[in-house]
Chains A and B, each alone.
Chain A
Amino acid sequence: MAITDPTLFVQAELLRHAEQLKGFIVALVADRDAAEDCFQELFLTVTAKAADFTPGTDFLAWACTIARYKVLQHLERRRRHGGYLDPATIEALAGDADAYHDAWDERRKALAACLDGLAPAARRLVDARYVHGLAPAAIAAASGRTANGVSVALAKARDTLESCIGRRLAGKGG
């Protein structure tokens, strides 16, 4: 479909990178409800500032800068709840965010293949955490394990997936 004006253009770009941007916001707020609020605000701000974006420049970098300000604003309002990163940490993290965006698409593809190779028990755990959104404590309550045991098992599953992705990207199969 033809994109006829800057507003629609940036909205389309935002949608195209939605997964990556949402993950970026979640990393900074670690609370999916708060992250969802921030993403909505990002959408509105990107729409309002559409004319500021110069086509041909790095959309993700532009959107991540706005997203970071949205997160800081949000955390300013929620500060009293505790449990969030403080602004100094977020500013420090911003300088190294290229490690997050690096090889995004290739790693995403490799991960899909690596998930299929995960042991069934680990896969159930990963699904409970990421599909059903359960915290380790909730998984523990439901499965009769300890929260610590669940956290350790989840960490192992993640490490396995990281190694598998690394092997695949290095061209050694997975």
Chain B
Amino acid sequence: MRDLQALIDAYADGAITAADLQRLQERLRADAPARRAFWRRMRLHAQLGAACRAAGGRALAFPPPRRAAWRWPLAAAAGLLLAAWWLLRPAAELPSRDGRPLAAGTVVAGPALLRWEDGTSVELAGGARAESRDARRGPALLLADGSAVVRVAHRPAGRGFAVATPQAEAAVLGTVFRLAVSAGSTVLAVQEGVVRLGNPAGAVEVHAGDAATARSQAPPQRVGSVVHADMAHDDVQRLADDLRPGDTLVLHGTWSRPLRLVRAGLPGLPITVRGAEDALLAGDEALAEWRRGVDGLWHARAPWSMATAQRPLGQDQLLIDGQPASLAVWPAGAEAVAADGSAVLGESGGFVRVAIRLPGLPDGDLSTAFLRWGGHFGRIVARSGDDAQVLVHPGVPAPRAGDALRVLGAPALLQQAGMWCRSGAEVLLRLAEDDHPSAHRIALQRHRTMLELRGAAQVRVADLAIRAGAVDIDADSVGAELDGLQLLHPAAIGGTAVGIAAPGVRVRRLVVTGEGQRIAVDADGVVVEDCGAAVVEVAPGRRLLSADRGTAR
């Protein structure tokens, strides 16, 4: 049992060897008590993480790296916060800052430049933290958090300069390089000279301009590969999820799902996603085969196979020639007033069933209809004349007599030209009597945002066309760049073509079609150049670094 516990702990600590992992798996597959012991220990590991963080943790004898906390889904980016762990040795002296020597144990916050007497220097980036050490007693410097550039002076033979990380050790003799450590890997980028990156599994020599990455139990590998993706056949999202600093992904063809970029590059070693001439991210799908029903409505098959009724109301938008059509709604003008309501009929599948009277409710099919009152929604599940039954989530105040309300999304409500709704797997549309669907490009927009940068710091997206979908850059995508993007009718509602929440983002050569489209900036130091007719809207208190074209307001 003791042995099993040690194996489980080593596994949970990321410190298990391949042979021990094999042993652990054999035990777990064969033995139910071992599996239960595994889960009980894992429960302790999970709760310890949360409990220790909740208690605020304690300062260590050395400055701790800020561990990337669990971030809110979608705002997360693996490997963005580089909790770097550097041990520099064996410089014989203590470093100095601004000409003043630093005593061992001094904590230095970046940006800062540390120098050793032989000319070796370490440039800490803003936000980085390090502690000086006496090299004779161990590491010369401990980088606890952030990234840094190391310039190693030429040294006599036998006096190399080594940088160790949990995954590998970089041995150098006179060079300039950048090293960054995230939870699972080390990335090395060499600016000058040659660095050998090695661990027990192997080694690789990295020359100026190249980069390499190392993970535990795997030989280090060079990065900077160029991957071509045919979006008709390849899983582009999966390829994008595997990008490393220095990599380039070239897109060909059409992709009709949102593309989410969550990997970060490094300063001087960006990740590039580039569109070939035919590359298109299409947030809509054209509806071509329309037939006229006896109800006078135009019917088309919804173009995807998923259970359409399960998509929340308002997630899809019908576009007619790039302009949004109105979702079927009753009444079309002022809201209706409930004459009588809120009689609770009982419970149904966890929801509350209430009765409501709506004078003048249109006759016909309301089986897909929703009721909206205040900020609340309920589903209409039965009606008889002006009386309707509505399923309401428990905890939502039921509609009452006198409440202003609307009914949405059912065929019976399609009373005006330009209105649409979905019914089962069909899209229904009412057009003017003398109009015909073939006179228009009619498409369903399925995704409001087609390109998302989530923690995609130092990522460059270039030469890509996006139709019926906006671009969103979150606050962690520092220094991202959009160059040469074409946004065709990007946002059917709201008019934000590009939303920017990260500082230092550059947007160049952006072409936007569609009325009143905006680039919304809520961050400092953003550069917008050559963006034609797009209106740049800057949040109060924020300053653009540059906007030499377009209209800033």
A residues apposed to B, CB below 8 Å? 2-7, 9, 18-20, 22-24, 26-27, 30-34, 36-37, 39-40, 43-44, 48-52, 54-56, 77, 81-83, 85-86, 88-89, 92-93, 95-102, 104, 107-108, 111-112, 115-116, 123-124, 126-138, 141-144, 147, 151, 154-155, 158, 161-162, 165
Contacts and interface: CB of A to CB of B under 8 A. Distances in A.
B385 to A, nearest CB: 27
A36 B78 contact: yes
A40 B73 contact: yes
Nearest to B306: A48
Contacts of B351: 55
Contacts of B73: 39-40, 43-44
A162 B43 CA distance: 10
Which 6 A-B residue pairings sit nearest by Cβ, starting from the closest? A23-B46, A55-B350, A133-B67, A131-B57, A27-B42, A33-B78
B15 A151 contact: yes
B539 interface: no
B48 A161 contact: yes
Contact of B55 (A18, A115, A134): A115
14 contacts: A24-B46, A30-B12, A48-B310, A54-B350, A85-B25, A89-B25, A100-B39, A104-B43, A108-B50, A131-B64, A132-B57, A143-B61, A151-B13, A158-B48
A162 B5 CA distance: 12
Contacts of B360: none
A141 B165 CA distance: 9
Nearest to A141: B87
Nearest to A125: B60
Given A30-B12, A43-B73, A89-B29, A142 B62 contact: yes
A99 B67 contact: no
Contacts of A54: 349-350
A81 to B, nearest CB: 6
B65 interface: yes
A32 B28 CA distance: 21
A93 to B, nearest CB: 5
B46 A27 contact: yes
A40 B74 contact: yes
B36 A130 contact: no
Interface in B164-184: 164, 166, 182-184
Given A43-B73, A93-B35, A111-B47, A133 B312 contact: no
Most buried by A among B10, B60, B67, B310: B60
Contacts of B55: 112, 115-116
B378 to A, nearest CB: 8
A96 B39 contact: yes
A101 B42 CA distance: 10
Contacts of A77: 238, 241-242
A5 B393 contact: yes
Contacts of A137: 15, 166
Contacts of B47: 19, 23, 104, 107-108, 111
B76 interface: yes
A115 B52 contact: yes
A142 B60 contact: yes
Interface in B43-90: 43-55, 57-58, 60-62, 64-68, 70-71, 73-74, 76, 78-79, 83, 85, 87
Most buried by A among B45, B396, B397: B45
Nearest to A104: B43
Contact of A132 (B51, B60, B74): B60
Given A82-B18, A128-B60, A111 B68 contact: no
B376 interface: yes
B9 A93 contact: no
B368 to A, nearest CB: 13
B401 interface: no
Contacts of A22: 46, 70
Given A18-B70, A161-B48, A37 B241 contact: yes
A141 B85 contact: yes
Contacts of B43: 23, 99-102, 104, 107
A33 B182 contact: yes
A127 B58 contact: yes
B126 interface: no
B38 interface: yes
B60 A82 contact: no
A126 B375 contact: no
A23 B42 contact: yes
Interface stretch (B104-112, B210-218, B317-325, B470-478): B210-218
Contacts of A6: 393
A135 B14 contact: yes
Given A24-B46, A37-B241, A132-B64, A108 B51 contact: yes
Contacts of A112: 51, 54-55
Given A55-B350, A131-B67, A2 B79 contact: no
Contacts of A135: 13-15, 166
A2 B395 contact: yes
Contact of A30 (B11, B40, B49): B11
B374 to A, nearest CB: 9
A102 to B, nearest CB: 8
A36 B85 contact: no
Contacts of A23: 42-43, 45-47, 49-50
Contact of B39 (A43, A99, A154): A99
A56 B146 CA distance: 46
A141 B349 CA distance: 57
Nearest to B54: A112
B182 A126 contact: no
A87 B215 CA distance: 22
B536 interface: no
Contacts of B50: 19, 23, 108
B6 interface: yes
Contacts of A44: 73
Interface in B278-309: 307, 309
A83 B61 contact: no
A90 to B, nearest CB: 9
A33 B44 contact: no
Contacts of A133: 65, 67-68, 83, 183
B60 A127 contact: yes
A27 B49 CA distance: 12
Contacts of B54: 112
B60 A99 contact: no
